[in-house]
Amino acid sequence: MSDGDNATTSNGVQEPGPSDEMSMYKKDAFKVVTFQLVYDEDDLESDQAVKFKPEMAHQIFGESESIFGYRSLSIFINYLHNSSRCYLDIRSSGKINSSNGKAEDIPKAMNDWMPSNYTTSLEDFTGWIQNEEHDKMYGELLTTFTPKKASPRFPDIEATYKITKITTASEEFTDFHARFETYITWFIDAANFIDLEDDKWLFFYVYEEFEHPKFKKIYRTPVGFCTIYKFYAYPRNIRARVSQIFVLPSHQKLRIGTALYETVAKNLRAMEEVLDITVEEPTPTFLKMRDLEDCGLLHKEIIKKNIKYFATSSKIIFEMGRNLKIGKRQIQRIYDILGLYYASQEGPKHYNAKLDNIRSRIIADLEKESRPSKRLCNHPGLSQQKLKVDKKTEIEAEYRKYCDDVEPSVKYMEDKLESWLKRNECKD
């Protein structure tokens, strides 16, 4: 007897049909791929090793983010903790029979997204471990901080984190960065590797530092980076754009990303030739972090100059933002977030009044951008009533979209401003 794709034997045991058998060979990339930071040989088989899973795999394995043709598949991507030299370890209990389909060529699918000169040989990788330079650190040291939390690798050790700036990229550094940036393919959507031959790139790196409890040596591990592109601005200036900011998943929730961006922004603001700082396609998480930094700086200036936000011309506050090298579009956003934050301290009535103010500005902006021409207004197929309805719908959609975008940053500011001020040595 058959029931769909399944068959039942004479003793009543149901055997897998063709579709069930095929599904055994289809693996979810998120489940089978594991990243591992290797500090020493013990990490290769240790339960205490630093491991984490990818957040996306479509650039490597297609939109289905699955791998076909293997049973009991595991893919370990092992990175040496300092140099980011890589060992790809693929394990399975067998491939699908060629008559039922072709197993995916995993190394071929991954080649373009892996560090150059990676190995699939455990023997080679073991040799690299033995020759690893554990305390290598690139760039000029800018700041050091301690999150008061244990190292992800050694729970009994409190690690220190150092942020460096690399302005002149040596061949050795570019080779290293080309290896380390391969992580981003699995964690940043539509991630691209940058052109390391372009001298307009500026790099900031975060290193974890601790004394290895067994070997009593200093171990430094790159755990995150930020890349800045310097666009030319007349006459002899630059516009600094934050291109990528990334922290290893194993080292997130340690305030590393916040410390990195604050250090980057402070450093860029101190550069005379920088006119303003912009960000390329920020994620929602990064957006809140950036908004807090910019709002905090402007808030400090408002306090310092004893300015009453609601009694002061927006032009004056905008000029203060420009002096802090906040980009034009970001200044408007920060002005509104600060206004909503201040209004929230006064109560719902003031908060709603600020929202009405934002709505009025959006109406004015849309009218400037899309005033219908006389020809359009006089078009026989378009009644004035329909134009008004369409405009009202557009205004409401734009207003709601903007509020949904900025209100998370207002709430984030309510939660985090006090700690930001303490870090930046300013109190209300």
| Domain segments of the chain as ranges | 17-131, 133-281, 292-428
Q: What is the pLDDT of residue 148?
A: 78
Neighbours of 230 (CB within 10 A): 19
What does the pLDDT read at residue 169? 80
CATH architecture of 17-131: Alpha-Beta Complex (3.90)
CB of 245 within 8 A of CB of 258? Answer: no
Give rounded-to-5 percent helix, strand, coil for the chain. 45, 25, 30
Give the fold, CATH level 3, of 133-281: Aminopeptidase (3.40.630)
pLDDT at 4: 42
Q: For 261-286, b where at least 16 C-beta lie within 10 A, e where not — what string?
A: bbbbbebbbeeeebbbbbbeeeeeee
Q: How far is CA 8 from the centre of its chain?
A: 51
pTM: 0.88
Token reading at 331: 């200044």
Residue found under tokens 């956003």? 333
Residue type, 161: Y
Listed as ranges, residues in the chain with pLDDT below 50 are: 1-14, 374-376, 427-428
Cα–Cα–Cα angle for 190, 193, 199, nearest 5°? 135
In 3D space, the residue among 116, 262, 124 whose CA is nearest the CA of residue 181 turns out to be: 116
What is the pLDDT, as a whole number, of residue 418? Answer: 94
Is residue 115 within 8 Å of 86, Cβ to Cβ?
yes
What tokens does 96 get?
């699908």
DSSP state of 16: P
- Cα distances (Å, whole numbers) of residue 355 to 368, 398, 413: 20, 13, 17
Structural element, H or E, at residue 259 = helix 256-269
Amino acid at 314: S
- C-alpha distances in angstroms, 94 versus 61, 69, 97, 119, 311? 19, 8, 9, 21, 73
Residue 382's pLDDT is what? 52
In whole angstroms, give the CA distance from residue 39 to residue 44: 9
